[in-house]
Amino acid sequence: MNTLFREIFKSDIEHTYKAPARINLIGEHIDYNGGKVFPCAIDKYITAYVSTRKDKELHLFSKGKDLKVHSLDNLDFDEKMRWEKYPLGAFYILSKKGYKFPFGLNIYYESEIPVGSGLSSSAALLDLTVFLISDIYKFNLDRKEITLIAKAVENDYLHLKSGIMDQAIIALGEKDSGMLLDCNLFTYTYHDVNLGNYEFVVLKSNKPRSLVESKYNERVEECEKALSTLKKVYKIDKLVDLSVDQLNNAKVILYDDVLYRRVKHVVTEVDRVNRFLLALDEGNILELGKILDESHLSLKDDYEVTGFHLDSLFQACKDSGAIGARMTGAGFGGCAIALIEKEYFPKFKKRVTTRYLELTGLKPDVFEIKIVNGVSKIN
């Protein structure tokens, strides 16, 4: 790598960092509604190789992309920006908070996280960049601050109405543990994910999607609209504050079937998170599988964020012997997870690949995962 780095930047690598991908085990599309989610960081990484510069320029490179050169004195958003808008946004938000950059950087990004897959490559890129900036410029940001700055880039620089889940788990993830994250209070606890003879596997649909171009923001806006109406009747601050009993009256109050179904998903998904944690503590594998299935069907029928390919992937998992399965991430393409017996993986992979190909004409990528720590520096 150093030889390639030297060819591009005419300098040697001085620092190396990596950030993991993430999957969300349960609690989908409730992060921006103030709910509790249960993600974990997984062993697919974006790596950054860095050297310092004597001028105040940023030279950014990623395999298969053109070298991007920007001045640290002009970080304003430009519609012509492509992938580089994520690292540039990190510098921009930090500059607006008063942080100074006395010198520039050369950064080579190398990723094994598929873009548009639902494994949160964008949040990994943001956390990674904020983390390396903090380290190199000696800003001493803690991991919660890194999370909030990365979220601010998505919200205020890229104008994506994302929640805090992705940035939080990639910054704060712990090996072999899922994070029960309260997205409203930004508090969290870790829970061991030890399933004995069972495991979660990830399936990439190979139907890419872009959050910014999808209906992600539309779902956020629908939830905001529903909340505004429901607050006139109930004393709630977030949609997740609505109880199952109150949900029964929400359809009449909202007088809109689409908004009601969005609310229904949020309220029932909150319940599924609680049941999932209980089943995990009890080692109840069949219940975990049942909850995964329920979540996918709710995301399909009530939240309408799955689509043909993810629904086909879900069906292929069930037809191939998965105990449970569901889409993970924002939807509109991307990835799913399945719960299976470990020793069954080779057979499952073969069967689900064949079945998904029959349904869609596409081959999925199917792989086992390890749960890992969050963003880090490589010595």
Query: Closest Cα partner for 203 from 319, 352, 29, 304?
Result: 352
Assess contact for 130 and 147: CB atoms under 8 A.
Answer: no
Q: Specify the pairing of strand 105-111 against strand 177-182.
A: unpaired
Assess contact for 328 and 200: CB atoms under 8 A.
Answer: no
Question: Which is the catalytic residue, given 127, 166, 241, 311?
Answer: 166
How many whole angstroms separate alpha carbon 350 and alpha carbon 331? Answer: 24
Assess contact for 353 and 359: CB atoms under 8 A.
Answer: no
Assess contact for 339 and 324: CB atoms under 8 A.
Answer: yes
166 catalytic? Reply is yes
Work out the number of other CB atoms within 10 angstroms of the CB of residue 250: 20
How many whole angstroms separate alpha carbon 287 and alpha carbon 39? Answer: 18
How many whole angstroms separate alpha carbon 206 and alpha carbon 176? Answer: 27
Catalytic residues, by residue number, are: 166
